[in-house]
Amino acid sequence: MDFLKKTFLTLCCVFVFSLWTLAQGADEQTLLHPPPDSWPGYHGDYSGKRHSALTQIAPGNVKNLSLAWAFQTNQTSLIKSSPLLVDGILYFTVPENIWAVDARSGHQIWHYVHPRSSGEHIGHRGVAMYKGYLYFLSPDAHLISLNAKDGSVRWNVQVADVTKGYWTSMAPLVVGRHVLVGVSGDFDNLTGYIRSIDPETGATQWQWNSTPPAGTPNQTTGGMTWMTGTYDPELNLVYWGTGNPTPVLNGTTRPGDNLYTCSIVALNPDTGKLAWAFQVSPHDTHDWDAVETPVLVDGDFHGEPKKMLMQSSRNGYFFVLDRTNGTSLLTAPYGPVNWTLGIDKEGRPIPNPAKEPAPDGRLIAPDEGGMTNYRSPSFDPKNGLFIVDAHPSWSIYFAKPADGVYGWAGADYGVWGKGIIEAIDYQTGKIRWSHEVGPGGSGAGVLTTDSGLTFTGDASGNFLALDSSDGKTLWHAGSGASIVSSPTSYELDGRQYVLMSSGGVLFAWALPE
């Protein structure tokens, strides 16, 4: 009786909750605790772990995984975005385009095309959602709010000046009544910033600058903020990575550490006030943005419960921080690195001046694309593994006085690289297993699931499902194009789907019905 009563109450709650979410879109509760039939933000939940609690697809049955549907954008732009899923509808992007697609069937509900604009069209990482509205950044650095029902534009505000060299490509982060946006712009000496915008009106609430205004003597510019941050609601802190300093390869006009470039920063989302910062690459001269996902994990570190932040950084080091105060718990390389003199007492790599770009070239590991990049890593709590698509690589870096002190200010050329999915033991930095994914490297991100699966892709365009405990391949499917996005997963009508994209096609995989 007791059991039946409990079951009945639970079902009632689920029913009421479903109705409520249906009516609410991506409201605060959905964003804080995403139900299994949703993926309401770029990372899914706020933690950036990209770990799904779903278990229907498991190591024992994944070999049966088959195509549920595929959606063709009919564009040559590669899909780099992570689709949002709210109320049964997927929202995803390529530059200047948003699609709303039925998550059950893969058919298009609407397609928004933004007028062709100036600014870089290098990629687009997706939209954000708050209640019934979407937030989309255009290449010419405008934030556009659209009605999720039909893609009609509600408002459009400029967030950066494209004529100065800024552009935007990231998926905004919604925290409370704030839409947080970041900016790109490496080819000019510009200040990077995070801006908080009112979700209803488009008005600016605050702005945090990562570097001083351009032209400040002996100071750096740069510190672009082009990847989506993460959020800890208990500490009420947003975590964000900042990009490289400018001029990029020539550090002579910007002596010192160049705060807050190549840093992980913790900000109060209500005020924009900086709580702490940890610089992963002091005085960078290799274009190693530290914008890779700051993954938030609560767990044991050497026997003590900790609120941690982990980042596999583009500069080749894996960092574990105490996210309450930004102090270092672990710094360890996860592939070949040859640009440091060691690690300082705060856990920061010490750059070797002899490895700064030079007129006759310096051989550097990793290359400019870095040991990893914007593709998402995943944290698997069951195995205690941080799993990342790594890119061991070597390159040559040049800079000479004739190259000047503006923008790129040098030249670098990748020499060699390959892709390896690495499972890092976060307590030691040791690599527990690795899985080669091909010459050149793969652009696929990683998703782990509670059933013990790791979804990713290889350099040849194969989608892969690996066993999270040892990295062995359990399933694969050739996709026919490059994979440059990160997988997501959701459950609808009791069926688990894994979404992956390659080229301009979105694939939904599920077990046969």
Partner 1 sequence: MFRRQFLCGMAALLLVAVFAAAQTTSHNTQSSVNTKQRKSRESENYPATLVQQGAALFRQDCSFCHGRDAAGGESGPDLTRSKLVAADVNGNKIAPVIRNGRPDNKMPAFDRTDQQIASLVAFIHTQQKAAQAQGGRRGNGGRKGVDPEDLRTGNAEAGKKYFHGAGGCAACHSPTGDLAGIASRFKGLELEEQMLYPRHAKSKVVVTLASGQEISGTLAYLDEFVIGLTNSEGVYQSWRIRDVRYKLDAPAEAHVDLFSKYTDDDVHNLMAYLQTLK
Binding to partner 1 (CB under 8 A): which residues in 13-72? 72
Interacting residue with partner 1 among 409, 474, 506, 508 (CB under 8 A): 409
Binding to partner 1 (CB under 8 A): which residues in 272-331? 287
Task: Determine if 419 is a binding residue for partner 1 (CB under 8 A).
Answer: no
Cβ 406 to partner 1 shortest distance, Å: 4
Q: Which distant-in-sequence residues (6+ apart) come within 8 Å of 425 by Cβ?
A: 384, 385, 431, 432
Interacting residue with partner 1 among 132, 299, 384, 440 (CB under 8 A): 440
Q: Phi and psi (nearest 5°) for 20?
A: -65, -45
CB 317 within 8 A of CB 264: no
Place of tokens 């996860």: 334
Task: Determine if 112 is a binding residue for partner 1 (CB under 8 A).
Answer: no
Stretch that binds partner 1, among 145-153, 193-201, 270-278, 394-402 (CB under 8 A): 394-402
Interacting residue with partner 1 among 6, 116, 164, 430 (CB under 8 A): 116
Cβ 424 to partner 1 shortest distance, Å: 20
CA proximity to 94, closest of 103, 81, 108:
81
Q: In angstroms, rounded to a whole number, what is the distance separating the alpha carbons of residues 202 and 144?
A: 9
| Structure-token pair, residue 171 | 């998926």
Task: Determine if 360 is a binding residue for partner 1 (CB under 8 A).
Answer: yes
Nearer to partner 1, 49 or 362 (CB): 362
Residues belonging to the chain? 513
Helix (H, G, I), strand (E, B) or coil at 475: strand
Q: In angstroms, rounded to a whole number, what is the distance separating the alpha carbons of residues 421 and 469?
A: 13
CB 264 within 8 A of CB 302: no
Cα–Cα distance list, 347 to 342, 366, 433, 465, 473 (Å): 9, 19, 25, 34, 35
Q: Looking at 257, 287, 380, 412, which residue is catalytic?
A: 287
Interacting residue with partner 1 among 368, 380, 389, 422 (CB under 8 A): 368
Q: Which distant-in-sequence residues (6+ apart) come within 8 Å of 257 by Cβ?
A: 279, 282, 283
Binding to partner 1 (CB under 8 A): which residues in 199-258? none
Cβ 117 to partner 1 shortest distance, Å: 8
Interacting residue with partner 1 among 402, 494, 512, 513 (CB under 8 A): 402
Q: Which residues pair with 196 in a beta bridge?
A: 180, 206
Stretch that binds partner 1, among 27-35, 97-105, 302-310, 358-366 (CB under 8 A): 358-366
| Enclosing H/E stretch for 63 | none
Nearer to partner 1, 117 or 324 (CB): 117
Interacting residue with partner 1 among 35, 299, 384, 438 (CB under 8 A): 438
Cβ 67 to partner 1 shortest distance, Å: 13
Stretch that binds partner 1, among 26-34, 393-401, 419-427, 447-455 (CB under 8 A): 393-401
CA proximity to 297, closest of 3, 501, 47, 105:
47
Task: Determine if 500 is a binding residue for partner 1 (CB under 8 A).
Answer: no
CA proximity to 248, closest of 423, 468, 410:
410
Q: Where are the alpha helices (DSSP H) in 41-162?
A: none
Q: In angstroms, rounded to a whole number, what is the distance separating the alpha carbons of residues 499 and 503?
A: 14
Interacting residue with partner 1 among 27, 45, 186, 257 (CB under 8 A): 186
Residue 200 CB burial class (10 angstroms; 0-12, 13-18, ≥19): middle
Q: Which distant-in-sequence residues (6+ apart) come within 8 Å of 216 by Cβ?
A: none
Task: Determine if 336 is a binding residue for partner 1 (CB under 8 A).
Answer: yes
Task: Determine if 351 is a binding residue for partner 1 (CB under 8 A).
Answer: no
Annotated catalytic residue 188: no
Interacting residue with partner 1 among 462, 485, 488, 496 (CB under 8 A): 462
Stretch that binds partner 1, among 12-20, 129-137, 343-351, 397-405 (CB under 8 A): 397-405
**Catalytic residue numbers, as ranges:** 287
Chain residues that interact with partner 1, rule: CB under 8 A = 72, 74-78, 116-122, 139, 165, 186-188, 287, 336, 338, 354, 358-363, 365, 368-369, 394, 396, 398, 400, 402-404, 406-416, 436, 438, 440, 458-460, 462, 464, 473, 476, 480-482, 503, 505
